Amino acid sequence: DPDPTTEFYIHSLDGKVWYFDASTPEEMSDWVKAIEGQIKKILEESLLPKRNSSNEEAKAKIIAMQGNDLCADCGAPNPEWASLNHGCLVCIACSGMHRKLGSHISKIRALHLDEWKPEVVSVMTAIGNEVSWTIFEARLPRNKPSTSSSVEERERFIKAKYLEKEFIAELPPSSLSLSARILVSVKNDDPIECLRLLAHASPSNVNEAHPEHNGGSALHVACNLGRVVIVQLLVWNSAD
């Protein structure tokens, strides 16, 4: 009689059936795991070209942005790392300085090693180095580091630029609060203005409730309006 503890079958998509009879239940379990592993591997490999193709297209779009042929911090050619929440590309040397600041300050991702989700690509192609410079280097009082600058010089500059935000411009006067201005940028679907405002904002500004929107924050409004890029920027800037 058939023994369900040692026998198993494989059914193909074209209706063929293969019968196997292992010596022991343990051997059967090992065979089943090995076969399932191979099936999973084949499926993953069949999807890989599609993923790689999509990733290559995303990288090409990011690289094509104005200024993205140079490191946003030292000017090194062909930067291969991204600071996601600043929308810019940096070289490997400067990326190390960004990592030292912590991911709450700069979210670093490898351009050629990591998978790129559509919403992240949308942020990078909405900002780019040239726009990022207008925000984070608006009041640059001195020369930037170059590829020949020392580690210490780069580190001081990157800390001043992204952590202490020494080079961002003052916001023009407005009768609106900072949180209200962020909300306006959400409604106007203006991610560049939103990032400019977020450079000045605290978590309390970002998460302030707006009574005219049933107590919702800027993030809630952005989600309701389908502002994908701004939603991502808000999340990276302490929105909850």
CA distances from 16 to 9, 11, 188 (A): 10, 6, 59
The alpha carbon torsion through 80, 82, 86, 88 (nearest 10 deg) reads 30
pLDDT tens digits in sequence order for the chain, 240 residues long: 556 677 877 766 566 777 778 888 888 788 888 887 777 776 666 555 555 667 788 889 999 999 999 999 999 999 999 999 999 999 999 999 999 999 999 999 998 877 788 999 999 999 999 999 999 999 998 789 999 999 999 999 999 999 999 999 999 999 999 999 999 999 999 999 999 999 999 999 999 999 999 999 999 999 999 999 999 999 999 877
The pLDDT tens digits for 191-205 are: 999 999 999 999 999
* Cβ neighbours, 10 Å, residue 60: 9
Backbone phi, then psi, for 58, in 5-degree steps?
A: -65, -45
Token pair of 124 as six digits: 């990078």
Q: Over the stretch 113-168, which tens digit does the pLDDT of each residue have?
A: 777 889 999 999 999 999 999 999 999 987 899 999 999 999 999 999 999 999 99
CA dist list (Å): 199 to 58, 215, 236: 26, 24, 12
Do residues 161 and 137 lie in contact, with contact meaning Cβ atoms separated by under 8 Å?
A: yes
Distance CA 73, CA 16 (A): 61
The Cα 220–Cα 224 span in angstroms is 6
∠ at Cα 83 (80, 87), nearest 5°? 105
Tell me the β-bridge partners of 81.
90, 110
Superfamily of domain 64-163: Arf GTPase activating protein (1.10.220.150)
Amino acid in position 137: E
Q: Among the residues of the chain, which ranges form H helices?
A: 25-63, 92-101, 118-126, 128-136, 151-158, 178-187, 191-198, 203-206, 218-225, 228-236
pTM exceeds 0.85, yes or no: no
